[in-house]
């Protein structure tokens, strides 16, 4: 039976209001498939055009609002977003599948990004100037124009704020396309934020790949901020190429965790497991492969499995659930196929943990640990994006560094050791945007650290001044005397 109570209708956000449209798609709870959580507008290129043209008109005045005033408005937006968590985090759980503290963390991280970005505005626009007998030169930071932001479903709030905050702080306006798999809570939060700002500064258009393509190829869009899969990013780059748009791309990862032989296993597991299983492994910089010295392998793997066996999988609103279902059918099929494929290999895959009664008809997958697996096995080299983790034995440091770097990806990574200097020496040899020593989860992030990837994990950086720099151009002006 389909549950149809409390079904929200979410239109496009064009200016301050949600528009009514003819065509809506259902968003179902991935942990209770008979529950329709919301009906979300299916956009068209005409909707994209309307939003981009409004954002373009708003840009002409928003760019002239003094930076300090824009920073104040970002702080107001941060307060609004923090308040949203109370009613919208449970909605995010129902459309996303993750547990409540994860949804609350999404709002809290997003709030922090707005606040931190506001704190960086002072001084950011101070021009670099030279004045001598021949010239007066002024190098000034100017906004780019309309920003197209395209985000995935896994952490929709913070991933949006990582684009919205630097874009708005630097005087750009924005049109965002959420993922059809988690659009509702984000859009309601953005409407509340948009209402604090001049009309047209923040806009949202819903839809699928065709809408994403219309947005990322629109001639009035000057910058694309994209987070999502590497394969999708190739389409986005092609769309943006037509009018040579600037791009920031935050993409997939296959993050290695390198355990050294002096590790404190218990202390490491306390932290490492969060980095593997939070959001059921559906985090771009989740730990996706763990390298363990052969001398410690059996002890480490036994302790790892013992801990994982304590996890309980259930509906995200069940407070006893360690983690929830996967977000959508494609993700569920991909992870379960990976598990089946690994069962047919020489590796030993063990299913652990238990399902709670709240785990009904939904995309639930129990945690799986893959032991005695080769570095070259498919489970070690892909971005599994689910609660399945390979433990790989290595023989020496040279080998583990080579294996850690043997990937098309280079997003996050970690080193686990009781010797910080040794950890730093290994960290410096890893090809990644970030390397954490003795952590690898949300708690590892610090807004002062630029976030992004190397190789096919992306282009550019988010967070802090590096993130803001992605949204401005240098305008060089010279008076020849």
Minimum CB separation of residue 412 from ligand NAD in Å reads 9
Q: Minimum distance from CB of 214 to ligand NAD (Å)?
A: 9
**Token output for 115:** 């606040």
Cα distance between residue 177 and residue 193, in whole Å: 16
Question: Is 86 within 8 Å of 18 (Cβ atoms)?
Answer: no
Active site residue 250: yes
3 state SS of 95? helix
Catalytic residue among 69, 102, 199, 250: 250
Distances (CA, A) of 259 to 266, 269, 290, 301, 309: 12, 11, 7, 12, 21
The CA distances from residue 440 to 99, 272, 287, 416, 444, in Å, are 19, 6, 7, 10, 6
Residue 217 Cβ vs ligand NAD, minimum distance, rounded to whole Å: 9
Residue 216 CA: distances (Å) to CA of 41, 297, 442 = 19, 47, 29
Q: Are 113 and 161 in contact (CB under 8 A)?
A: yes
List residues near ligand NAD by CB under 6 A: 150-154, 159, 177, 179, 208-209, 212-213, 216, 227-229, 232, 235-236, 239, 250-253, 284, 383, 385, 411, 453, 458
458-459 sheet: strands from edge to edge: 17-18, 13-14, 202-204, 173-177, 146-150, 221-227, 246-250, 458-459
Cβ atoms < 10 Å from Cβ of 67? 18
At 180 the three-state DSSP class reads coil
**Closest approach of ligand NAD to the CB of residue 103, in Å:** 15
Closest contact distance (angstroms) between CB of 243 and ligand NAD is: 15
Pairwise CA distance, residues 173 & 222, whole Å: 10
Gyration radius (Cα) of the chain, Å: 23
Q: Compute the distance between CA of residue 266 and CA of residue 369 in angstroms, rounded to an integer.
A: 17
Instruction: With both helix axes pointing from N to C terminus, report the angle between 156-169 and 184-194 in degrees, rounded to the nearest 10.
Output: 30
User: Residue 90 burial by CB count (10 A; 0-12/13-18/19+): exposed, middle or buried?
Assistant: middle
- The phi-psi region of residue 381 (left if phi > 0; otherwise alpha if psi is between -120 and 50; otherwise beta) is alpha
Residues carrying an active site annotation: 250
């Amino acid at each position: 039976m389909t549950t149809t109570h409390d079904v929200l209708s979410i239109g496009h956000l064009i200016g301050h209001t949600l528009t009514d449209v003819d065509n809506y798609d259902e968003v179902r709870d991935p942990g209770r498939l008979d529950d329709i959580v919301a009906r979300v507008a299916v956009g068209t290129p005409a909707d994209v055009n309307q939003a981009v043209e409004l954002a373009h008109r708003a840009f002409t005045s928003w760019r002239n609002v003094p930076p300090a005033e824009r920073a104040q408005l970002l702080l107001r937006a941060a307060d609004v977003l923090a308040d949203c968590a109370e009613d919208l985090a449970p909605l995010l759980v129902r459309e996303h599948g993750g547990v409540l503290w994860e949804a609350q963390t999404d709002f809290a991280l997003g709030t922090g990004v707005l606040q931190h970005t506001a704190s960086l505005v002072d001084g950011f626009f101070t021009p670099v100037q030279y004045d001598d007998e021949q010239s007066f030169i002024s190098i000034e930071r100017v906004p780019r124009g309309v920003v197209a932001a395209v985000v995935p479903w896994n952490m929709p709030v913070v991933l949006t704020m990582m684009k919205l905050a630097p874009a708005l702080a630097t005087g750009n306006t924005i049109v965002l396309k959420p993922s059809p798999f988690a659009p509702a809570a984000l859009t309601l939060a953005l409407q509340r934020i948009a209402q604090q700002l001049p009309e047209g500064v923040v806009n949202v258009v819903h839809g699928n790949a065709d809408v994403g393509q219309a947005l990322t190829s629109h001639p009035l869009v000057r910058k694309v901020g994209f987070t999502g899969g590497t394969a999708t990013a190739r389409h986005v780059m092609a769309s943006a190429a037509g009018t040579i748009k600037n791009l920031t791309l935050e993409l997939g990862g296959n993050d290695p965790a390198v355990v050294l032989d002096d590790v404190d296993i218990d202390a490491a597991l306390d932290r490492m497991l969060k980095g593997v299983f939070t959001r059921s492994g559906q985090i771009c910089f989740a730990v996706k492969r763990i390298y363990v010295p052969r001398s410690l392998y059996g002890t480490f793997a036994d302790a790892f499995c013992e801990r994982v066996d304590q996890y309980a999988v259930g509906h995200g609103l069940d407070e006893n659930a360690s983690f929830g279902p996967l977000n959508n059918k494609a993700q569920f099929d991909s992870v379960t196929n990976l598990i089946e494929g690994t069962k047919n290999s020489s590796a030993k895959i063990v299913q652990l943990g238990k399902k709670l009664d709240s785990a009904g008809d939904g995309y639930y997958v129990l945690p799986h640990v893959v032991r005695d697996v080769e570095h070259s096995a498919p489970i070690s080299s892909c971005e599994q994006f689910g609660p399945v983790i390979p433990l790989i034995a290595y023989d020496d440091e040279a080998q583990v560094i080579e294996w850690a770097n043997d990937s098309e990806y280079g997003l996050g990574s970690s080193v686990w050791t009781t010797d910080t200097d040794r950890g730093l020496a290994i960290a410096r040899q890893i090809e990644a945007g970030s390397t954490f020593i003795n952590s690898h989860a949300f708690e590892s992030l610090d807004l002062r650290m630029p976030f992004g990837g190397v190789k096919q994990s992306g282009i550019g950086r988010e967070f802090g001044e590096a993130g803001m720099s992605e949204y401005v151009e240098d305008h060089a002006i010279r008076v020849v005397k």
